[in-house]
């Protein structure tokens, strides 16, 4: 496949749009960022007319696939009623009730527009609840692009200091220094206990399954140990389930692992592509927002069309049917990929679940960001770029998202493309 029309459009657009893209993560895509004409089910069509099997899924949100009828119809119908009312609609109450039903830690809900914002609300609640300022995050975990959390997301290990006590490294030029942030290695309960002993930490925030910089599961007992350590130190535990929510299980990683955080951040699959996120949590903390001790605002919060889409998405999720499809097709894909890699003599591992997993080349079984850097990530990125030329779009960092719109035929075509790419690289 060729992508010349995309390249021409991007080059032309760079005269008016910074870099030709509107999010940092869309730069650096090989051979270059793509321009799309339409999306349907599991398929993207770009301006070259290429039809691509999509495992980006909007960076995670499209759990039901692109333009699922139930969501499209709900959004379309809402356009005839209201777009934005700066007030309440029954839609947001119904959606919140479903969140409370689905997500173990959700006693109270506040909707936001983006995951980055909802993270800010969670940290503010934690600081107000504890009267403390410090926040602990983990090396390689991403919690949005705001100053106070964009630390050590993909740090240069030459500058990152010792493993047990990483030096917090900023992720952007112009980022405000932050004396309140501590960065720790993930999956290391001892290091966390030691840091919490100082008694100054308001919140520990983590991706409960690490999917941004690598695909790593919590080691057995780790989440429980974190929960205990936070309780002992009077620190709030915040799960950032922007990726894991509705994918690792309908109720997120907290449901799958049976560890309930104090606060949870949700986004992405929550609204199947509409800009909706949420901070949810235990009533005793979320009451700080209800009481107006903690300010959480936003002109576009619960925009009517987005809420209609959220309600439709959560209704489908609660029904369970999407998972029955994803579990079957995603598991087949995971198995098929492992078979293709084995047949080609490529050492590879897959970590995760049918709806979201990570493929890694090399022999390592990492438990944290630093170990994950020993995988053959450059080779994987080459593989992902080659796969695109065969009509399969996967993230260069190894994450695959699978939707309820992916079918056996897509899996067959994907595995054939993988086989072709592996054969090319062998010869
Ligand atoms: N947390 C996690 C775990 C994420 O993966 C992301 C986005 N990739 C965010 C927060 C930020 O969400 P948003 O892009 O909606 O601001």
Q: What is the CATH number of the domain that holds 383?
A: 3.90.1150.10
Cα 50 to ligand 1 centroid, rounded to whole Å? 28
User: 212 CB under 6 A from ligand 1?
Assistant: yes
pLDDT of residue 427: 59
Q: Are residues 81 and 96 in the same domain?
A: yes
Q: Are residues 78 and 114 in the same domain?
A: yes
pLDDT of residue 426: 76
Triad 97, 98, 99: Cα angle to 5°: 90
Last residue of a domain, one of 290, 318, 346: 318
Last residue of a domain, one of 274, 300, 318: 318
Cα 119 to ligand 1 centroid, rounded to whole Å? 9
pLDDT of residue 96: 98
Among candidates 365, 356, 368, which has minimal Cα distance to 399?
Answer: 356
Last residue of a domain, one of 318, 348, 373: 318
Sheet-wide strand order for 399-401: 348-353, 356-361, 399-401
Cα 424 to ligand 1 centroid, rounded to whole Å? 35
User: 213 CB under 6 A from ligand 1?
Assistant: no
Q: Are residues 155 and 263 in the same domain?
A: yes
User: 240 CB under 6 A from ligand 1?
Assistant: yes
pLDDT of residue 425: 84
Could you read off the pLDDT of 56-73 as tens digits, one per residue? 999 999 999 999 999 999
Q: Are residues 256 and 350 in the same domain?
A: no
pLDDT of residue 28: 85
CA distance 65 to 41: 5
Q: Are residues 102 and 177 in the same domain?
A: yes
Cα 381 to ligand 1 centroid, rounded to whole Å? 21
User: 267 CB under 6 A from ligand 1?
Assistant: yes
Range of the domain at 29: 4-67+320-426
Q: Which residues does the chain have with pLDDT short of 50? A: none
User: 52 CB under 6 A from ligand 1?
Assistant: no
Show which residues are catalytic: 142, 240, 268
Number of domain units in the chain: 2
Threshold 0.90, pTM exceeds: yes
CA distance 113 to 94: 17
pLDDT of residue 166: 97
Q: Are residues 313 and 331 in the same domain?
A: no
Please answer whether residues 203 and 126 qualify as being in contact, where contact means their C-beta atoms are separated by less than 8 angstroms: yes
Which atom of ligand 1 is closest in space to residue 212's alpha carbon? 5
CA distance 303 to 344: 50
Complex ipTM: 0.99
Q: Are residues 42 and 158 in the same domain?
A: no
CA distance 215 to 399: 7
Q: Are residues 326 and 414 in the same domain?
A: yes
Q: Are residues 142 and 278 in the same domain?
A: yes
Q: Are residues 223 and 288 in the same domain?
A: yes
């Amino acid at each position: 496949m060729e992508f010349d029309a995309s390249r021409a459009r991007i080059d032309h657009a760079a005269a008016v749009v910074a870099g030709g893209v509107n999010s940092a993560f869309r730069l650096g895509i090989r051979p270059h960022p793509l321009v799309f004409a339409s999306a349907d089910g599991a398929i993207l069509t770009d301006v070259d007319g290429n039809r691509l099997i999509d495992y980006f899924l909007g960076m995670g949100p499209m759990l039901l696939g692109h333009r699922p009828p139930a969501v499209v119809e709900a959004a379309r119908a809402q356009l005839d009623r209201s777009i934005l009312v700066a007030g309440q609609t029954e839609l947001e109450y119904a959606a919140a009730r479903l969140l409370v039903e689905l997500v173990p830690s959700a006693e109270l809900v506040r909707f936001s527009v983006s995951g980055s914002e909802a993270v800010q609300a969670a940290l503010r609640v934690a600081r107000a609840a504890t009267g403390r300022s410090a926040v602990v995050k983990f090396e390689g975990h991403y919690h949005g692009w705001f100053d106070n959390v964009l630390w050590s997301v993909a740090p240069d290990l030459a500058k990152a200091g010792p493993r047990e006590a990483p030096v917090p490294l900023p992720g952007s030029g112009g980022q405000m220094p932050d004396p309140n942030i501590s960065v720790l290695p993930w999956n290391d309960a001892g290091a966390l206990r030691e840091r919490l002993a100082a008694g100054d930490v308001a919140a520990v925030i983590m991706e409960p399954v690490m999917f941004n910089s690598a695909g790593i599961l919590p080691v057995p007992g780790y989440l429980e140990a974190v929960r205990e350590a936070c309780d002992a130190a009077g620190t709030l535990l915040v799960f950032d389930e922007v990726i894991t929510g509705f994918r690792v299980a309908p109720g997120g990683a907290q449901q799958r692992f049976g560890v309930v955080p104090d606060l949870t951040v949700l986004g992405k699959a929550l609204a199947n592509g509409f800009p909706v996120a949420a901070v949810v949590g235990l009533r005793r903390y979320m009451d700080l927002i209800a009481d107006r001790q903690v300010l959480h605002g936003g002109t576009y919060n619960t925009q009517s069309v987005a809420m209609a889409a959220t309600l439709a998405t959560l209704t489908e999720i609660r029904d369970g049917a999407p998972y029955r499809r994803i579990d079957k097709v995603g598991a087949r894909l995971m198995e098929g990929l492992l078979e293709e890699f084995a047949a080609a003599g490529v050492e590879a591992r897959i970590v995760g679940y049918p709806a979201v997993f990570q493929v890694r080349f090399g022999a390592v079984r990492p438990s944290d960001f630093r170990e994950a850097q020993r995988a053959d990530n450059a080779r994987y990125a080459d593989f992902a770029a080659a796969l695109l030329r065969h009509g399969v779009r996967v993230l260069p960092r190894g994450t695959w998202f699978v939707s309820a719109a992916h079918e056996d035929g897509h899996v067959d075509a994907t595995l054939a493309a993988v086989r072709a790419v592996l054969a090319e690289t062998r010869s």
